[in-house]
Amino acid sequence: MRILFLTYQGDMAGSTNSIAYLAKGLANRGHEVFLGIRRESLLWDLVEDSGVHRIPMTFGGKFDFKNWRQIRDVVKEHQIELINAQSSHDRYTSIFANKRYGLGVKIVHTRRQMPMSMGGPLQLFLYNKWTDGIVAVSQQVKEGLVKLGIKDSNIEVIHNGTPIEKYDHIDSMKVESLKARFNISPDDFVLGCVSRIKNQIQIIKALKLIDEPLKMIFCGIEATDEMRGIIDSYTAAHELHFEGHVEGTEILPYYKIFHADILASTMEGLSQSLLEAMALETPVIATAYAGNLDLIQDGENGLLFEDGDIERIAELIKEVRRNTSLRTRLIENGKVTALQTFNIENTISNYEAYFQSLITKR
């Protein structure tokens, strides 16, 4: 197959790494894979020295005629059979370029987060009439798309995955350095959260209900004034640390100092940070919403709470802290879930089969 991936973003940690692994995986299987991205994007560097052909592109918006022409030229020069658009601008530009220039290429969109809106009748028309297929990264994303008016038959669920080799060589020196920096002792309980700003305020509110001191490390955000106000009202001597942005290459050692990882997001199509935690034997606690429901079986490989249930969040944190048998079960089952069920090789195989079915379909 000859495939063109498009993404004007390429700098969002979870999705960016997913696209990189998928593109490289398909190239390793003998397919001709091209990637249209900005030179300055993180994704440009992630696929360097791989079998993926990088195509520098500019992205000026949904109706960027220059981008349409760039897509046209790549499709014609490299005889592209299928375009997989990864972000909102690309979904429009790939469709319009295909129709404007009569390229005859198959158009597939990937939806990695829960849909909030579809942009009205125009986008519904484009998705249902001028798009050959949509990949939803979880069953919940698919259900969200169907509720907004997208045809069920036009949507294929292909879960995100994670590569086994990603976890082979965690730098033990970096782990020890983090322990020293946060002054972590054997008696400490360390709760972690790895995410951009996504409902972390619920976690901060829940900590107010916990009497036994713990250490909380947020990777991906800085504290807001609202958060600071709640923290100042704590009666327990919790230590909260806000690490801000942490590069993807530096995040894995953090999971090794967490005794549990928590995510309060309602946006995740299927969370890479939860997969990373599970792969690295860190118990996970997450909102019973979106792709978390595809990933987590409550009480078996993770713990779930209803969005906004602050008291339940506090209860689960206390439970995973004191219940040794529960922690052991979550660790063992979580690792199997991440490294076997959600192995990236399964994701690549499913994309490969789906793309091939569309290309051969007339």
pLDDT band at 113 (very low <50, low <70, confident <90, very high): confident
CATH 3.40.50.2000 domain position(s) in the chain: 2-161+343-360, 164-341
Give percent of the chain with pLDDT exceeding 90: 77
Q: In degrees rounded to 5, what are phi and psi of residue 111?
A: -110, 115
* Model confidence pLDDT, tens digit, residues 194-232: 998 888 999 999 999 999 999 999 999 999 999 999 999
Pick the CATH number of 2-161+343-360 from 3.40.50.2000, 3.90.1170.50, 3.40.50.12280, 3.30.1950.10: 3.40.50.2000
Which range (61-70, 114-123, 138-147, 305-314) has the least confidence?
114-123
pTM across the whole model: 0.90
Q: What does the pLDDT look like over 263-305, one tens digit per residue? A: 998 878 889 999 999 999 999 999 999 899 999 999 999 999 9
Q: Minimal CA–CA distance to 135: which of 361, 362, 354, 359?
A: 354
Where residue 13 falls among pLDDT bands split at 50, 70, 90? Answer: low
pLDDT at position 117 over 80: no
| pLDDT band of 138, cuts 50, 70, 90 | very high
Nearest to 320 by CA among 260, 244, 252: 260
**Structure confidence at residue 124 (pLDDT):** 87
b (16+ CB within 10 A) / e for 339-358: beebbbeebbbbbbebbeeb
For 231, other C-beta atoms within 10 Å of its C-beta total: 15
Least confident residue range of 28-32, 36-40, 81-85, 153-157 = 36-40
Region 164-341: CATH code: 3.40.50.2000
Q: Each residue of 316-353: pLDDT tens digit?
A: 999 999 999 999 999 999 999 999 999 999 999 999 99
Mean pLDDT lowest for which of 150-159, 169-178, 262-271? 262-271
- Classify residue 199 as left (phi > 0), alpha (psi -120 to 50) or beta: left
Task: Provide the pLDDT confidence category of residue 118 given band limits of 50, 70 and 90.
Answer: low
Q: What pLDDT, on a 0 to 100 scale, did the predictor assign at position 79?
A: 97
Mean pLDDT of the chain: 93
User: Would you place residue 78 in the very low, low, confident or very high pLDDT band (cuts 50, 70, 90)?
Assistant: very high
* Paired strand residues for 335: none
Six-digit token pair at 230?
A: 């709640």
pLDDT score for 106: 97
Write out the two tokens for 341: 């069920």
Using DSSP, state whether 292 is helix, strand or coil: helix
